[in-house]
């Protein structure tokens, strides 16, 4: 059977060549978008009197039958028909006869495929945004339980200053808030209609592009037909926002992996999100966190893949652009899967408060506090830094921490030290006093929690 576009051909390609060129293997995922786009298109054709109302009704009935078959999983796709668009058109003609051939009036596969992608990505971006919210909620709930749980804060992975564990978790809440914002903003460009741009130059038929756009729920139409069929920025943008989102997840995964190690023992993953070893009976591996960290690589790969595919393309459509799909589908699945697992991991992990607080008590992360103490009493900060540095050295030499040093040691270092330093050096005090806006002080953390709950539109358990 010859191709739907076979008129000017005298011989057909061999099957293995068809196979190479076909996209049906993956673009069948767009089946519902393609049908939805066709229904809107034919409705518009009738409204503009390009086909009759009766013709449009018959075509829509045929499309609805195909939709039902697709839902039931009984629609058979063939490589000979190349892609989802030709497969559906062929099946429509088989279903309702030659009238089905009128569906493609004033339309090309080039604006059709772009329309499908815009519809698909609008829908999936919204799903992913909700999944981001679920992770933010898991973080917020866990944070709420740990406002006063202290954990060493690190720079260079060396203990720096103690922080509230809630503050640490909420740092990720805000990263995800930016990710949510990026996805939301991208919808302005994703939810646009290229339909009616034709192959590249528009069409001679008196179509109404605004009507089909409206029927499909798009916020507007592309201004330029060449741009409409050639633009894949909206996918690049999605892949880019997804890459940043995965980068954030991956960073917290790295921390979860470190924290669940024997060396840290700050958290324990729930059994549901860990696996054992086939040889070492004692092992409990944070596989899911590792896998999300790993999958971040493929999402970056999909972004770079598409950017590279697009970089040398002349206007307008080129077959290269068929390569836009697999990376997009893969990213949607990867991001959705990762977010779902991630929320579960955060919700169910056990926080080992005692180990965290022991870690905070047994280090020098309160040293800044001592320097600030002297600076508050008038000593230039740089000098205070030096004095405290010497005290740290004294303590290290005596195998002690700052709280173990005697008052004489302090007095010898500076006459400004009074007995209140023992209170000042307590980790809880250290954290509580970092009360600048956005700091780790408990009052600030509670304010941040309130803001988080407002953003989530949820009510705190307090
Ligand atoms: N399968 C094609 C793609 O995904 C659809 C558009 C084909 N257009 C064409 N003129 N060959 O890009």
Q: What is the 3-state secondary structure (H, E, C) of 133-163?
A: HHHHHHHHHHHHCCCCCEEEEEECCEEEEEE
CB environment 353-381: b (16+ within 10 A), e (fewer)? beebbebbeebbbbbbbbbbbbbeeebee
With the most atoms of ligand 1 within 8 angstroms of its CB, the residue from 22, 83, 114, 318 to mutate is 83
Is the CB–ligand 1 distance for residue 317 below 6 Å? yes
Asked whether residue 152 is assigned to any structural domain, the reply reads: no
Q: What is the CATH number of the domain that holds 236?
A: 1.20.200.10
**Whole-number mean pLDDT of the chain?**
95
Mean pLDDT on 239-250: 98
Helix (H, G, I), strand (E, B) or coil at 404: helix
Question: Do residues 106 and 198 lie in contact, with contact meaning Cβ atoms separated by under 8 Å?
Answer: yes
Instruction: Give the Å distance between the CA of 86 and the centre of ligand 1.
Output: 10
Helices (H) and strands (E) in the chain — how many of each? Answer: 19, 6
Taking residues 160-184, report their average pLDDT. 97
- At 398-426, the pLDDT tens digits run 999 999 999 999 999 999 999 999 999 99
First to last CA, the chain: 69
Say yes or no: 278 and 412 in one domain: no
Domain assignment of residue 2, yes or no = no
Q: What is the pLDDT of residue 8?
A: 84
User: How far apart (Å, rounded) are the C-alpha atoms in residues 264 and 261?
Assistant: 5
- What's the 83 CA to ligand 1 centre distance in angstroms? 7
- Is 296 within a domain? yes
| Closest of 378, 370, 453 to residue 173, by C-alpha | 453
Task: Choose one of 341, 358, 375: the last residue of a domain.
Answer: 358
Domain encompassing residue 413: 362-456
- H/E run at residue 83: none
The pLDDT, as a whole number, for residue 102 is 98
**Is the peptide bond prior to 118 cis by the omega test (within 30 degrees of 0)?**
no
Helix (H, G, I), strand (E, B) or coil at 442: helix
Please tell me whether residues 324 and 230 are part of one structural domain.
yes
Asked if residue 462 has pLDDT above 50, the reply is no
Residue 153 lies in a domain: no
What CATH number should be reported for the domain holding residue 96?
Answer: 1.10.275.10
Q: Model confidence at 4, in pLDDT bands (50, 70, 90)?
A: confident
Domain boundary among 305, 340, 358: 358
- What is the pLDDT at residue 168? 98
Q: What is the pLDDT of residues 10-31, one digit of tens each?
A: 888 889 999 999 999 999 999 9
Taking the C-alpha atoms of residue 128 and residue 183, their distance in angstroms, rounded to an integer, is 8
Supply 419's token pair.
Answer: 């007995």
Together in a domain, 115 and 98: no
Q: Are residues 242 and 95 in the same domain?
A: no
* Residue 230 Cβ < 6 Å to ligand 1: no
Rounded distance between C-alpha atoms, residue 301 and residue 330, angstroms? 11
Q: Are residues 200 and 77 in the same domain?
A: no
Q: Is 114 in the pocket of ligand 1 (CB under 6 A)?
A: no
Note whether 94 and 131 are same-domain residues.
Answer: no
334 and 230 inside one domain: yes
Structural element, H or E, at residue 351 = strand 350-351
The CA 334 to ligand 1 mean position distance, Å, reads 25
Mean local confidence (pLDDT), 390-397: 95
Q: Where are the alpha helices (DSSP H) in 265-323?
A: 287-310
Does 452 fall in a domain?
Answer: yes
**pLDDT value at 130 more than 80:** yes
For the chain, give the number of residues.
Answer: 462
CA 306–ligand 1 middle distance (angstroms): 16
296 lines ligand 1 (CB under 6 A): no
6 band by pLDDT with thresholds 50, 70 and 90: confident
Per-residue pLDDT band at 458 (split at 50, 70, 90): low
DSSP string, 175-199: HHHHHHHHHHHHHHHHSEE-TT-TT
Question: Is there a catalytic annotation at residue 385?
Answer: no
Q: Given the residues 277, 278, 385, 436, select the one marked as catalytic.
A: 277
Residue 379 has pLDDT above 90, yes or no: yes
Q: Exposure string (b/e) for 131-141, b if CB count within 10 Å is 16 or more?
A: bbbbbbbbbbb
DSSP3 helix / strand / coil % (the chain, rounded to 5): 65, 5, 30
> Residue 459: which pLDDT band, with cuts at 50, 70 and 90?
low
Of 156, 164, 240, 365, which is the active-site residue?
Answer: 156
| Number of compact structural domains in the chain | 3
Q: Is the CB of 366 under 6 A from ligand 1?
A: no
Instruction: Specify if 135 maps to a domain.
Output: yes
Nearest CA owner, ligand 1 atom 4: 322
Do 114 and 263 lie in one domain? The reply is yes
**109 CB near ligand 1 (under 6 Å):** yes
Report the share of the chain in percent with pLDDT over 70.
99
Ligand 1 atom at minimal distance to the Cα of residue 321: 12
**Assigned domain for 7 exists:** no
Q: From CA 271, how far away is CA 344, in angstroms rounded?
A: 11
Same domain, 99 and 169: no
182 plus 304 within the same structural domain: yes
Give 276-306 pLDDT, tens digit per residue. Answer: 878 777 878 999 999 999 999 999 999 999 9
**Annotated catalytic residue 156:** yes
Asked whether residue 193 falls in the same domain as residue 330, the answer is yes
Residue 180 to residues 167, 184, 445: CA-CA distances in angstroms?
Answer: 20, 6, 21
**Is 441 within a domain?**
yes
Mean pLDDT of 302-321: 98
In terms of phi and psi (left: phi > 0; alpha: psi -120 to 50; beta: otherwise), the region of 363 is beta
Tell me, using a 6 A CB cutoff, whether residue 83 lines ligand 1: yes
Alpha carbon 125 to its chain's center: 9
Averaged pLDDT for residues 90-107: 98
- Between helix 31-47 and helix 84-96 the angle, nearest 10°, is 60
Q: How far is CA 370 from CA 2, 338, 383, 395, 419, in A?
A: 84, 43, 12, 14, 12
Let me know whether 321 and 430 are in one domain: no
What mean pLDDT is predicted for residues 101-110?
A: 98
From the CA of 85, give the closest atom in ligand 1.
Answer: 5
Residue that finishes a domain, picked among 334, 358, 382 = 358
- Residue 33 scores a pLDDT above 50: yes
């Amino acid at each position: 059977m010859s191709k739907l576009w076979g008129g000017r051909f005298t011989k057909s390609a061999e099957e293995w060549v068809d196979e190479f060129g076909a996209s049906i293997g993956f673009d069948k995922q767009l089946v519902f978008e393609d049908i939805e786009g066709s229904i809107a298109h034919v409705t518009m054709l009738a409204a503009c009197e390009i086909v009759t109302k009766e013709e449009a009704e018959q075509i829509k009935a045929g499309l609805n039958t195909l939709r039902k078959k697709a839902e039931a999983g009984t629609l058979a796709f063939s490589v000979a028909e190349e892609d989802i668009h030709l497969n559906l058109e062929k099946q429509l003609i088989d279903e309702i006869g030659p009238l089905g051939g009128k569906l493609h009036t004033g339309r090309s596969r080039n604006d059709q495929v772009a329309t499908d992608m815009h519809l698909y990505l609008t829908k999936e971006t919204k799903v992913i945004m909700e999944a981001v919210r679920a992770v933010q909620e898991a973080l917020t709930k866990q944070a709420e339980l740990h406002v006063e749980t202290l954990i060493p804060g690190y720079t260079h992975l060396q203990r720096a200053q103690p922080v509230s564990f809630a503050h640490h978790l909420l740092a990720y809440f805000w990263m995800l808030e930016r990710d949510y914002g990026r996805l939301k903003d991208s919808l302005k460009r994703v939810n646009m209609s290229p339909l009616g741009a034709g192959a590249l130059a528009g069409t001679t038929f008196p179509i109404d592009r605004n009507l089909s756009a409206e029927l499909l729920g798009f916020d507007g139409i592309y201004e330029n037909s060449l741009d409409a069929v050639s633009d894949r920025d909206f996918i690049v943008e999605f892949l880019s926002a997804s890459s940043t989102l995965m980068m954030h997840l991956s960073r917290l995964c790295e921390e979860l992996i470190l924290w669940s190690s024997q060396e840290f023992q700050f958290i324990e993953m729930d059994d549901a999100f860990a696996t054992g070893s086939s040889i070492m009976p004692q092992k409990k591996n944070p596989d899911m966190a590792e896998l999300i960290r790993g999958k971040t690589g493929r999402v970056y790969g999909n972004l770079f893949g598409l950017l590279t595919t697009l970089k040398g393309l002349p206007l307008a459509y080129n077959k290269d652009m068929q390569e836009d799909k697999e990376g997009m589908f893969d990213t949607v699945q990867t991001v959705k899967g990762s977010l779902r697992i991630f929320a579960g991991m955060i919700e169910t992990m056990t926080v080992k408060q005692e180990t965290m607080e022991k870690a905070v008590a047994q280090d020098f992360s309160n040293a800044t506090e001592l320097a600030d103490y002297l600076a508050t009493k008038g000593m230039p900060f740089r000098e205070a830094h030096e004095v405290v540095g010497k005290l740290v050295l004294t303590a290290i030499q005596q195998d002690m921490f700052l709280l173990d040093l005697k008052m004489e040691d302090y007095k010898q270092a500076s006459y400004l030290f009074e007995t209140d330093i023992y209170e000042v050096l307590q980790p809880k005090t250290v954290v509580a006093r970092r009360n600048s806006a956005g700091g780790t002080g408990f009052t600030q953390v509670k304010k941040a929690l309130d803001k988080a709950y407002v953003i989530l539109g949820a009510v705190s358990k307090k």
